[in-house]
Amino acid sequence: TGTYPHVNGMVANDLRLREERVTIAEMLRDAGYRTGFIGKWHLDGGPRDPGFVPPGPRRQGFEFWAAYECHHKHFEPDYFRDTPERIVVNKFEPEASCDFAVEFLKSQPKDKPFFLTVQMGPPHDPYGAPDNYMKQYDAEKLTPNVSWQAGSEGRPTPKGGLRRGPLANRFVPVGGKEEIAAYYAAITAIDDQVGRLLATLKETGADENTIILFTSDHGDMLGDHGMRRKRKPYDESARVPGILRWPARVPKGQVVDLLFSHIDMAPTLLALAGQTVPKDMQGADLSRVALGQTTDGPEAVLLQIFVPFHPDGITTPWRGIITEDYTYARYENEPWVLFDDKADPHQMKNLAADPAAKDLREKLDAQLAALMKKNGDSWSFNSPELVEEGGRLYKHGTFYTVQEYIDWAKAHPDQVK
């Protein structure tokens, strides 16, 4: 949507994106593009299983469909097309998703533009990859980051360890270097599938004039700073790939040291496609940066966590900013972390309570407050309720907002555990 979660409503996992929200897929579809979505959707709310999203408004503008709502069946993923019939694929999820993407690309009319989104589940806990990728990374020979701590916070290993089916792959134990190796193995597997997509584009003659944006929704702490998974302001969690490719227009090999956030994706891609960027989009149009015409970009990126999630170690909602030099995050009532990312690239020295950093902290506090105000964010959007834990938001129905669930829970206390 090109808007922040407090605007589009998606402040927690397992809410439903309102059908009336206008998405980039709807805009491009209406402009004559063929649209397709493949992989993990996680925008429909309600039960994750079966996770069928019927054709129509709930698909938010996507026509071609091979998707699932949310699961972590990395080795035997299931998908839905246009009927409730579950399709189980005995492959690693990135390969299975890529198969559908190749189908889409090879069926694409040559005289029609297209917009395709491929959302691969891995790398994501529980960690694992096919054996031929796992063998490429010896956990004992890996050198973790300097901030890494063994036996960090973690969920228990999935029951049985082994996945069903002919692939006979395993998820690794949590809290050790094994999960780092498995994470790298999954990334390598994904890299191969991206290569398949590039080869298919070349085979179909669409290579030169196709814009590709490669990114991820979050990173993973993997034991750094004694933490795991996501929702943290640390680089391991918040900093993700941002690779844009367009052989016909974008100079290859350029590296731009610039702040780029997910909020900027929709306006940037729309502009590159020659479409009008709606005024209500809150992200920056960085198309001129991509085209090598400027290096000017946002001064800061806004980070937002609206609800607690204890399995990820988050007990309190928070806000933060990343600037060219600093990472700063705070709770509503007190600072949390402040890092000088130039002098301390591994974020080992937290300056949030350092008297010598008082002026800097106040400056970043003011910058954060201004960025929140500019984008209509406030602490009042937070909720202390544990709405994401224990499947509360997806076990009992479909909710568009956290408040809808809270009202339902008050009316049905016997059903809430």
DSSP 317-346: -EEEEEESSEEEEE-SSSEEEEEETTT-TT
Residue 132 tokens read as 């031929």
Domains of the chain (ranges, CATH numbers): 5-301 (3.40.720.10), 302-384 (3.30.1120.10)
Coil, helix or strand at residue 28: helix
Instruction: State the pLDDT at residue 170.
Output: 59
391 near 71, Cβ under 8 Å?
no
Distances (CA, A) of 194 to 107, 114, 126, 180, 182: 18, 17, 22, 21, 18
pLDDT at 153: 56
Entry field: residues in the chain? 417
- Residues sharing a CB contact under 8 Å with residue 258, sequence separation 6 or more, in sequence order: 286, 289, 295, 297
What residues have CB less than 8 Å from 27, skipping those under 6 apart?
A: 61, 270, 275, 278
Q: Is 253 left (phi over 0), alpha (psi -120 to 50) or beta?
A: left
Query: What is the identity of the amino acid at 195?
Result: G
- For residue 126, is the peptide bond before it cis, meaning its omega torsion is within 30 degrees of 0? yes
Which residues contact residue 65 at a Cβ distance below 8 angstroms, ignoring those fewer than 6 apart? 36, 37, 38, 53, 55, 59, 80, 81, 82
Low-confidence ranges of the chain (pLDDT < 70): 152-170
pTM score above 0.85: yes
